[in-house]
């Protein structure tokens, strides 16, 4: 379907003899330790293809002319039709892609900085805290970035219409290439199980407490700054939602592992949404101190994100709280 540069094939192991490496029933734990770097790289693949698709769709939207703007002030007097970038839904699609790309990019730098700290900081406690943050966010980066990357690439194709589906434009290739990222190096649901079943439980929740402390410190650092209120409030709400759902899982999952598995993907998506809000607030904290066009556009992009994309966290929250019953109440014969 995609990644044709990779010599992918099926290998038959019918007469091969397998050798156990490590302790029995501990393979998943060992595998994830080995795969951490690969998981982060695959998450970046989702971001990279999403960004490439955005740039191709943006170029198309500026070149393609069709219809007139509903706002006459935007009409091009020198042409019989306006470029499709004037149309509200085209803007919605492009801005959704760009605003989530910028959230992913900000979170990528945050994780990368913590990788550096975990390797190089002279204080062992600081190194451990940074390592905890990287470990916690690795399944979020791998899963949420590739989910969003796939959806964004599809949105970019939609901007281009029928021609986006053809080989004349590169997005159809990006669409084929990005889909595998949700599967290899641990499927996205496996990443969610790793987050809920392992990362949240390590040392009584040490990892989530460490990240929560950084989240809380960011919120405290912008408290009272009226320039950031419109971004800080939904970010605080997202932090509260993440805390609420983490406590929900901590209370119920040990008694009902099936519940944890049923809502793990939805919980990871809530975590991703909260992390995106964290990323955007961090960027806005510095952007409001600048006067250049880049900073002004950054604030406008954050405003779009919090008003038109971030509210999805409420639906994801409700899915977690709805639990497993409506999902697991079917007999096999009813499928």
The residues annotated with a catalytic role in the active site are 185
Give the residue among 246, 247, 289 at the shortest CA–CA distance from 270.
Answer: 246
Q: How far from 202 is each of 75, 118, 132, 198, 199, CA to CA, in Å? A: 58, 18, 10, 6, 6
Task: Give the number of other Cβ atoms within 10 Å of residue 242's Cβ.
Answer: 24
Rounded Cα distance between 95 and 301, Å, is 7
Rounded Cα distance between 111 and 138, Å, is 8
Rounded Cα distance between 210 and 117, Å, is 14
Q: Is 41 left (phi over 0), alpha (psi -120 to 50) or beta?
A: alpha
Contact 172, 52 (CB under 8 A): no
Give the residue among 172, 144, 117 at the shortest CA–CA distance from 278.
Answer: 144
> Encoding tokens for residue 158?
């939609």
Contact 247, 172 (CB under 8 A): no
Largest CA distance in the chain: 74
């Amino acid at each position: 379907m995609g990644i044709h540069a990779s010599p992918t094939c099926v290998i038959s192991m019918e007469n091969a003899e397998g050798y156990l490496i490590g302790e029995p029933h501990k393979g998943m734990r060992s595998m994830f330790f080995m795969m951490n770097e690969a998981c982060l790289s695959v998450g970046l693949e989702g971001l990279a293809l999403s960004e490439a698709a955005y740039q191709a769709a943006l170029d198309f939207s500026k070149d393609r002319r069709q219809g007139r703007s509903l706002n006459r002030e935007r009409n091009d007097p020198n042409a019989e039709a306006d470029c499709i970038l004037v149309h509200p839904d085209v803007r919605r699609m492009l801005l959704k892609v760009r605003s989530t790309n910028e959230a992913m990019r900000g979170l990528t730098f945050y994780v990368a900085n913590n990788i550096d700290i975990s390797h190089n900081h002279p204080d062992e406690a600081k190194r451990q805290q940074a390592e905890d943050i990287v470990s916690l966010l690795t399944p979020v980066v791998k899963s949420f970035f590739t989910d969003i990357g796939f959806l964004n690439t599809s949105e970019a194709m939609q901007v281009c219409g029928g021609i986006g589906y053809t080989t004349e434009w590169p997005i159809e290739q990006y669409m084929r290439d990005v889909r595998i990222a949700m599967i290899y190096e641990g499927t996205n649901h496996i990443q969610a199980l790793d987050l809920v079943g392992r990362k949240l439980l390590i040392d009584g929740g040490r990892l989530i407490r460490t990240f929560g402390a950084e989240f809380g410190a960011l919120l405290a650092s912008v408290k009272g700054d009226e320039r950031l209120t419109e971004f800080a409030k939904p970010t605080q709400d997202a932090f509260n939602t993440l805390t609420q759902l983490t406590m929900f899982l901590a209370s119920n999952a040990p008694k009902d592992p099936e519940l944890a598995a049923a809502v793990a993907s939805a919980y990871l998506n809530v975590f991703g949404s909260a992390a995106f809000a964290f990323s955007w607030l961090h960027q806005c904290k510095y952007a409001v101190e600048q006067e250049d066009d880049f900073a002004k556009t950054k604030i406008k992009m954050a405003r779009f994100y919090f008003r038109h994309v971030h509210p999805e966290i409420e639906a994801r929250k409700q899915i977690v709280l709805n639990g497993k019953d409506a999902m697991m109440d079917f007999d096999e014969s009813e499928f």
